Chains A and B, each alone.
Chain A
Amino acid sequence: MEDVVIYGLLRGGIYALAAFGFSLVLGVIGIVNFAHGALVVFGGLATQYLAVRAGMPYLAAISGGAIATGLLAVFIQRAFIARTFQLEPLMVLVQTFGIATVITELGSMGWGTEERLLRLKTGLPPGWFIGETFVPSFDVVIFLVSLVSAVFLFLVLGKTEFGRAIRACSDNRQSAQLNGINLARTFEKTMFVSGVWAGLAGGMFVTLSPLAPYMHFSWTIDSFLVIIIGGLGSMVGALVGGLLFGVLSFGAAFYAPTIAPAITFGVLLLFLVFRPQGLLGAGPATRK
């Protein structure tokens, strides 16, 4: 039981990393980016490619992968989402659905459909014991990265110019514009941040577990689940949601493996019906 909780928390860090960006895009721009999972997978596979094919050291590879993912996200925003969002916001859901398919198919053609794993030598000790449970060192690293990210993003959101612009946009877009905030640029920067963190999540995940293009969808769903639990727009909420989700999915897989997916999606539905604002989020806002 204790090990399920510990592993769940550690893995939850990755889910949180993936969810930060998703929450920003959803909270700021107001769209569900169905291609988010595709970005995570892209980042992971790009990192793997850079490390294995281009022979780059891990840190360089993951940085490259994350930044590439960020740029891809900006491209998607500028070329596609920006145009449609003004006309019919809900059509953007369908659009990103299509974009996810395109990225996945192109990725499958470029990288092949089989799963890839990145074996990593970190130079750290293999792991430590917490109580009776053996904890691999890299899992702890990931956990720390997600904690630091949460704090970092929380500060960015609260203290910087960019963060203020983001919050202004999510509260009231029209008055934000009237106050001189460049919406298009803010959206693009937000997508960049979202992409970078998605790529980061993928780049770390690919060292733990194999990634393949077809997995993009479950990452999107998981990110959504995390912020449903944790609350939309809150970075701390994404962290908490991620950790809880980690424990939940680990627990479900451990105790009831045959119906584990049904459990996780069942929980999602329950939250949506009874507590859509999540644990830490604001209430459902008015649309105008």
Chain B
Amino acid sequence: MAFLEFFQPRAGTNPTARQLGLLVAALAVTALIPLFANDYWVRLIIFVFLNIGLASAWNIIGGYAGYPSFGHGVFFGIGAFAGAIGIVRYQLPLPVVMVLGGLLAGVVAAMFAPIFKQKGLYFALSTLALMLVFETVFQRWTFTRGLRSHDLGWTIATQITLAQFYYIFLALLGAVVATVILVVNSRIGYALQAIRKDEILAASIGIRTIKYKSLAFMISAVWPGVLGAAFAPFLAYVSVQSVFEVSITLNMILITVFGGAGTIIGPVIGGIALSIIDQIAWGSFLSYHRLIYGVLIVAIITLYPGGLVVLIQSMKTRRHARKAAVVNASERVR
């Protein structure tokens, strides 16, 4: 499967065109779904798009750069609030608040540059601290809390139809994955991979590690901001409880790691697989939801830190080895 070769760019070839082509094809196919699926499924798939999009963005800083961000949901939250406040209080159109959400998230991420001088674990907890700060502020500050002074959230009315939301999120997902493809195959991508594998070596061969880590973080923050802003009218009610949930960040991490951190297809496979597991678990195991997720994270990292992608790869090589063995055996018989 050509898709699985995303993460092995070969000497002298540039896979960008091929990967973007595959992406467009996949988007085109997926665009047909609303034509024969009912509202329940369309709504469900929108959530899958959102999850994959968020995870892909997280993948840039957590998977490729190797700096897991534990408060990444803060950017989604900032975007959602930008969307809510922009639409309800200022009557701004959706495209404008989406840009606003992305910009705000990017600016907040840019302020993190000094923290990148330190080790990865300081970064991880700083992002967590950041999320908790914003959560508190959004909850107490009357400007952000709600339209009227006693409100605890934002209620958003919208004319956008379900089908339109479907295409909006599909397009956004396409944009995020396209960004990942472009970044990974560029100079930035090389820098990030070197930084992740051996940061000291990376610095010694001339890579300005702080600059590239900051860049990666900003890019990975902008998209959740945009997605958050788009999500605000879709969810129709934005409050700290609904958009600053820890499980949003947890999902980003789990989907990426489960599917395969540091690969393009990883978050996609992970998102689809986990949504399926989620659907199955929903009916029978609702109360064990978080437990199952926790167990999955631990299991995958302990047994297959490379995620589903590595699992599939090893099945492929085992199948080839078996085929080769069969051929050898049959030749010997002759």
Contacts and interface: CB of A to CB of B under 8 A. Distances in A.
Interface of A: 26, 31-32, 79-80, 83-84, 87-88, 90-91, 93-95, 97-102, 104-106, 109, 217, 221, 224, 228, 258-259, 261-262, 265-266, 268-269, 272-273, 276, 284, 286-288
Nearest to A32: B121
Contacts of B298: 80, 95, 98-99, 102
Nearest to A30: B121
A88 B128 CA distance: 21
Interface in B248-303: 250, 253-254, 257, 261, 288, 290-291, 293-298, 301-302
B294 A99 contact: yes
A88 B254 CA distance: 16
Interface in B124-141: 124-126, 128-130, 132-133, 136-137, 140
Contacts of B253: 94, 97
B262 to A, nearest CB: 10
A193 B291 CA distance: 27
Interface in B153-179: none
Contacts of B119: 284, 287
B34 interface: no
| Chain B: number of interface residues, binned into ranges | 35 or more
B118 interface: yes
A90 B294 CA distance: 17
Contact of A93 (B68, B137, B246): B68
A22 to B, nearest CB: 11
A262 B67 contact: no
A83 B302 contact: yes
Given A94-B297, A95-B301, A224 B125 contact: yes
B15 interface: no
16 contacts: A84-B305, A90-B120, A93-B124, A97-B70, A98-B294, A98-B297, A101-B294, A217-B246, A258-B140, A262-B140, A265-B132, A268-B125, A268-B126, A276-B122, A284-B118, A288-B200
A248 to B, nearest CB: 14
A79 B136 CA distance: 37
Contacts of A79: 302
A90 B298 CA distance: 14
A97 B297 contact: yes
B115 interface: yes
B114 interface: yes
Nearest to B66: A90
A116 B290 CA distance: 22
B293 A101 contact: yes
Contacts of B66: 88, 90
A93 B70 contact: yes
Interface string B188-204: 00000000000110000
Given A26-B121, A87-B305, A90-B120, A265 B291 contact: no
